[in-house]
Amino acid sequence: MPEDKTPLYTALSRRAEEPLLRMHMPGHKGKAPLPPALAAAAALDFTELPGTGNLYEGLPPVSEAEALAARAFGADSCYFLTGGSTQGIYAALALCCPPGSRLLLDRGSHRAAYNAMALLDLVPEYLYPAVLPGFRVSAGITPEAVKEALLRDPCIRCVLVTSPTYYGVCSDIPAIAAVTRELGAFLVVDEAHGAHLPFLTGAPCAQGRGADLSVASAHKTLPALGSGGLLFASEAFPPERVRTMTALFGTSSPSYPVMASLDWARGYMEGPGGGEYRRAVRTLEAVKKEIQSRKIFSVLGPGAFPDNDLPGVTFDPARLVVNTLKGNLGGFEAARLLEEEHGIVCEMADASNVVCIVTCADSDGDLLRLGRGFAALEEKCPCAPPYRLPASPPPPPALRLSPREAVFSAAESLPLHSALGKIAAESVAPYPPGIPVIAPGEEIDKFGLNYLRQIGYNEDTGILVVRRRKDA
Ligand SMILES: Cc1ncc(COP(=O)(O)O)c(C=O)c1O
């Protein structure tokens, strides 16, 4: 890759080659006694020095790498994150939501959004997406639902939408952005699972498609190191303000290998990576057809809903979601068999589906092996005991305290079965997919407890509940 295409990665690599006596942190000094597996990345593990830049002060070469990323992802500006999309969600909501304000968000939001509400003292108003038939996963958020909620409660000034979801379901971001713009609310998009999409579709990231801010976990779907994320911001947000907020939720020693990998991954995707991703998706399409041709599986994608009108919903072509229920096999069991019998480790499973993340790092051979693994599952299906689909999630409990009051109040741990009527000080979000059945500040009711029992959640598990004032 030409060196000027990756300013940060190149600057750090050059510095690592200089015969310098490193009398600065990190303590490993980029050399022995580190084991070889760690030493290669540690060679680039610098601190803020002349020539290495400064993330939170926006100094080159970090800022140069960010500018190239903004261009590649079609955003007004880009800020590197070393704390994943989690850090980006905190910063984005801090930029849009004054303490005590209301936030409109998908109930199926990642726990980072729930934690952000506690940290920033936000009060939730939830959107409940429709469910895709058969797969029982979110059909995404519609612009109509956002409009209706904003008209119902004009105090709401910020909307958080997750697109794509963990299952690769994408909402119509430009249409939602048109609504939020019309009604004077900020739109923040949690695009944690969609960092690769601009290189597959040619369309910009969510911020470039109309959102005010969007976050992407480069580490999830691009060849970047764990916890590397990107925050994209419209030009309405002054860079110093954005950096103040990312710094508020980040370590003061951001990882240089992580930042270098963000720079390198973007350069790679603008070079050979884009073609490699498209190659992987083409092979995956053939694998999906082969899996779908087996009577026991359904593959999530546009072809799964020939009679259903799903306006605005699109699917990430690089995500493989296989519904296993027709084979009388639960998703967890299918994922277990894939790992134990074929050495295939899926990203996650739920009661009905197995989810695999496919990227440019997967060779055609890897993808064919994945297909063979699913094919072999077919033989297992007749042996499986009749599979009973768990109940649908219950309606959300009543909110008695704000998330912040609940999370930061004096709390005690009770077994779930004794917590009826108490106010939760933490979430109960069976993972995956990690959607809270009970969220902080909500009253624990019989519907939630019954549902948790039905899905086999251990009722002896402790839950933190708010201690009543007289016990405090
Ligand atoms: C939808 C969604 N948003 C945000 C996050 C947090 O991302 P990160 O791990 O990069 O902090 C995740 C993590 O799985 C996620 O699934």
pLDDT tens sequence across 23-40 = 999 999 988 799 989 998
Q: How does residue 10 score in pLDDT terms, banded at 50, 70 and 90?
A: very high
How many Å lie between the centroid of ligand 1 and the Cα of residue 167?
Answer: 13
What 148-155 contacts at long range (C-beta under 8 Å, 24+ apart), as own/partner pairs, is: 149/104, 149/125, 150/104, 150/179, 150/180, 150/183, 150/185, 151/183, 153/102, 153/104, 153/125, 154/183, 155/101, 155/102
Q: Are 317 and 285 in contact (CB under 8 A)?
A: yes
Q: How does residue 360 score in pLDDT terms, banded at 50, 70 and 90?
A: very high
Note the pLDDT of residue 431.
58
How many Å lie between the centroid of ligand 1 and the Cα of residue 114?
Answer: 12
Query: Average pLDDT in the 160-166 region?
Result: 97
Note the pLDDT of residue 469.
63
pLDDT at 367 over 80: yes
Surface-to-core class of residue 27, CB atoms within 10 Å of its CB (0-12 exposed, 13-18 middle, 19+ buried): exposed
Q: Which atom of ligand 1 lies nearest, measured to the CA of 89?
A: 4
Q: Which atom of ligand 1 lies nearest, measured to the CA of 86?
A: 11
Q: Are 423 and 406 in contact (CB under 8 A)?
A: yes
pLDDT tens sequence across 77-125 = 999 999 999 999 999 999 999 999 999 999 999 999 999 999 999 999 9
pLDDT tens sequence across 171-200 = 999 999 999 999 999 999 999 999 999 999
Sequence spans of domains, the chain: 274-383, 403-471
Which secondary-structure segment (H or E) carries 150? Answer: helix 143-152
Query: From CA 431, how far away is CA 347, in angstroms rounded?
Result: 12
Query: Average pLDDT in the 138-159 region?
Result: 97
How many Å lie between the centroid of ligand 1 and the Cα of residue 140?
Answer: 16
pLDDT tens sequence across 276-295 = 999 999 999 999 999 999 98
Which position has the token pair 């103040």? 244
Note the pLDDT of residue 472.
47
Q: How does residue 3 score in pLDDT terms, banded at 50, 70 and 90?
A: low
Average pLDDT over the chain reads: 93
Note the pLDDT of residue 390.
65
Q: Which CATH architecture has domain 274-383?
A: Alpha-Beta Complex (3.90)
- What residues are in contact with ligand 1 under a 6 Å CB criterion? 84-86, 110, 112, 162, 166, 190, 192-193, 217, 229
- Which one-letter amino acid corresponds to residue 389? L
pLDDT tens sequence across 320-348 = 999 998 888 889 899 999 999 999 999 99
Q: Which atom of ligand 1 lies nearest, measured to the CA of 229?
A: 10
Note the pLDDT of residue 261.
98
pLDDT tens sequence across 223-253 = 999 999 999 999 999 999 999 999 999 999 9
Minimum mean pLDDT range among 59-63, 262-266, 381-385, 429-433:
381-385
Pick the CATH number of 403-471 from 3.90.105.10, 3.90.120.10, 3.30.1330.10, 3.40.50.300: 3.90.105.10
Q: Which of 105, 111, 114, 193 to mutate to test the pocket of ligand 1 (most atoms within 8 A of CB)?
A: 193
For residue 169, what is the DSSP state?
E
Q: How does residue 429 score in pLDDT terms, banded at 50, 70 and 90?
A: confident
Asked whether the bond before 432 is cis by omega within 30 degrees of 0, the reply is: yes
pLDDT tens sequence across 402-425 = 999 999 999 999 999 999 999 999
How many Å lie between the centroid of ligand 1 and the Cα of residue 397?
Answer: 24
pLDDT at 470 over 90: no
| CA atoms lying within 13 Å on the CB side of residue 426 | 13
Surface-to-core class of residue 154, CB atoms within 10 Å of its CB (0-12 exposed, 13-18 middle, 19+ buried): exposed
* pLDDT > 70 fraction of the chain, expressed in percent and rounded: 96
Q: How does residue 311 score in pLDDT terms, banded at 50, 70 and 90?
A: confident
Q: Are 46 and 52 in contact (CB under 8 A)?
A: yes
Q: Are 257 and 111 in contact (CB under 8 A)?
A: no
pLDDT at 383 over 60: no
How many Å lie between the centroid of ligand 1 and the Cα of residue 109?
Answer: 9
